[in-house]
Amino acid sequence: MDLIHIIYKYFRKKLDSNFEDSASVIENGEDQAKKSGNQDREYFQSYTDVGIHEEMLNDAVRTNAYRYAILKNYEKIRGKVVADVGAGTGILSVFCVQAGAKKVYAIEGSSLAEQTRLVVEENKMADRITVIQGKAEDVTLPEKVDVVVSEWMGYALFYESMLPSVLCIRDRWMKEDGIMLPSSAVLYIAPFSDEEISERIEVWSSIKDKYKVSMDCMKTYAKQCLSYGAHVRCICPEDVISHAYQLVNLDLNKVTVHEVTNIQRKFELSCFGSSRLSGFVLWFTVSFPGNVVLSTSPYSQATHWGQTLFYVEKEPEVKQDTVISGKLSLRPNQQKPRFLDVNISFQVDGGGLHQKYYYMSDNIT
């Protein structure tokens, strides 16, 4: 009887343990879902701020590229049904009607949708544009569409993780012979040198002369802070110290959600001249049918995206034909999928391995 009792207690404990583990997994999953849901609410709420839309509409390079691409492809749009994903103020929907679209479903996740309806009415297009407020993953359209248009790109192309929502509309609602606007996207990487960074770090050495207090110990910390996350600005072409390497080339008619949420690519770069490697810069282009290209390259007209910079903590010296080989991984953060986890590892001329993690959050500077 004692033996049976012991065996019973063992299996009872094991069962209780498994139950607790299962409950823990469920609770963790629920917590994660809540966090993702909270971030989605914050994300959509941010797009009710008129300032964001002012910035995008004042970006003439961006807006004119979409306008030109849509009007140039009027033969593919005229008499067709269009889904505008993340419609915002509705300007792309209006462009599509101007190109002859029979019907446009303007999908907007935020409460800005009320303003979108007013824009539609002001342009006397309420009979051709229907504004649908809701997440792209949740909406139901009255019919299949011939065209999916969206301005989904974020910093470093993938920031804010909007592309999966666009692909969801494509997979659920676009006809087999439908088209995507834009139709392809390319992400580039290059090394850059920033002479100003040394001046910023040396500020800590100047404190002693100014105030008779030594703060050299802050230099390492300042460099760590600088290289924690991403920085966005337009850099000078001369600061780029090699030809760019094509990391990602997406066919937006075919690419899967898994492929855009699990980027892992190797790269190899051959340097120009002599300088210091301050970090890596990313930029992108998107292309539309008819050879219309929107570029955020430092060699092109500036856009509100600028370029995305990732600083390294130690700046190795490079010279002509120095080879920088490495790997970049980029994926949505598990807790907050609108943000990105970026890992860059690299070697200079086959030397020691440098590895760095960057958290690409809304603290972008």
Catalytic residues: 151, 160
Looking at residue 30, its pLDDT comes to 55
**pTM of the predicted model over 0.85:** yes
Cβ proximity of 128 and 104 under 8 Å: yes
Looking at residue 6, its pLDDT comes to 45
Mean predicted lDDT score pLDDT of the chain: 91
Which residues are CB-neighbours of 174 under 8 A, at least 6 positions away? 83, 144, 145, 146, 147, 148, 180
Where is pLDDT greater, at 364 or 261?
Answer: 261
Looking at residue 319, its pLDDT comes to 97
CA 57 and chain centroid, separation: 19
Looking at residue 35, its pLDDT comes to 58
Q: Letter for the amino acid at 102?
A: K
Looking at residue 29, its pLDDT comes to 55
Delineate the domains of the chain, giving CATH numbers in brackets.
50-151 (3.40.50.150), 185-360 (2.70.160.11)
Question: Quick one: average pLDDT of 47-70?
Answer: 93
pLDDT, tens digit, for every residue of 143-166? 999 999 999 999 999 999 999 999
Judged by average pLDDT, the poorest of 11-20, 239-248, 312-321, 340-349 is: 11-20
Can you read off the two tokens belonging to residue 185? 């996207």
| Residue 276 scores a pLDDT above 90 | yes
pLDDT, tens digit, for every residue of 185-221? 999 999 999 988 888 888 999 999 999 999 999 999 9
Q: Interhelix angle for 113-122 vs 91-98, to 10°?
A: 30
Looking at residue 73, its pLDDT comes to 98
pLDDT, tens digit, for every residue of 25-50? 445 555 655 556 688 888 878 878 88
